[in-house]
Amino acid sequence: MQLNLKSAVACALALSVNGLALADEQVLKPSWAMQGDELEHAMTLKGNKDEGREIYEVCAACHMPEGWGLSDGTFPQLAGQHHNVLVKQLADIRAGNRDNPTMYPFALPSQIGGAQAVADVVEYINTLPMNPENGVGPGTDLEHGKQLYKDNCVRCHGENGEGDNAQFYPMIHGQHYEYVARQFREIRDGARRNANPDMVEQVQGFDERDLIAVSDYVSRIKPPADRLGPPGWQNPDYD
């Protein structure tokens, strides 16, 4: 596959994350992911977690001070998510590449700042432990969900839902069931415009049973113990 000049430049820029060259990551950033000048810029910047803590106060109203979102899936868990994924989603919402009318007004540069603010808030989010008690599904069709995950999801999201930072594949273990299910529906139905084209194709044939089963299975994959906060943990930064 040939990359156009803009995509090639974007991929080259994206090889530097947090201002450090990723010498051990020799894979170019996928061109589908690099959309928009701000995203390309933010990917080259080193984040400041102290500045990010101040910015995240805006985000905490919905995503909670701990970054754990809500177990009913209204707002996703951000804690633990890959740097590249967080930068991309925030930049895409700001650029209009992903429709999120709830978040959009709060994510604007006029509210939180420019590309450096994106890098800063993501740097802060990366310091937060994950929710040990995320929302899960009904638990009635897990074997079907497990097989669907094995057949359709492992190649990108990994055996344990760990994703891949370099390739913009999100970490999905520990995410709330209702949020995962909603994203599956939006991707399948064409409402998630910034989705990986490979995933769009992958889930086209999922019916409602498939969607519920695989989302339920994913919600029950536990992150590594050292990534989890204790039950009931409260972020001391916002006491």
CATH of the domain at 114: 1.10.760.10
CA atoms in the 13 A half-sphere facing the CB of 198: 13
Q: Which domain holds residue 54?
A: 5-125
Rounded to two decimals, what is the model's pTM? 0.85
Of the candidate ranges 21-30, 45-54, 224-233, the one whose mean pLDDT is the lowest: 21-30
Q: How far is CA 128 from CA 41, 66, 80, 237, in A?
A: 24, 7, 7, 11
Are 12 and 105 in a shared domain? yes
Are 186 and 112 in a shared domain? no
Are 104 and 16 in a shared domain? yes
Split into its structural domains, the chain has a count of 2
- The full length of the chain comes to 239
The residue to which tokens 């490979």 are assigned: 198
Q: How far is CA 66 from CA 36, 59, 111, in A?
A: 29, 10, 21
Of the candidate ranges 18-27, 30-39, 202-211, the one whose mean pLDDT is the lowest: 18-27
Are 96 and 174 in a shared domain? no
Q: What is the pLDDT of residues 37-86, one digit of tens each?
A: 888 899 999 999 999 999 999 999 999 999 999 999 999 999 999 999 99
- Picking from 92, 125, 158, the residue at the C-terminal end of a domain is 125
Q: Is 200 exposed, middle or buried (0-12, 13-18, 19+ CB in 10 A)?
A: middle
Are 55 and 99 in a shared domain? yes
Q: How far is CA 189 from CA 12, 75, 185, in A?
A: 32, 20, 6
In a domain, 137, yes or no: no
Are 113 and 175 in a shared domain? no
Banded pLDDT at 239 (limits 50, 70, 90): confident
Are 106 and 161 in a shared domain? no
Banded pLDDT at 1 (limits 50, 70, 90): very low
* 6 vs 133 pLDDT, higher one: 133
Are 103 and 146 in a shared domain? no
In a domain, 30, yes or no: yes
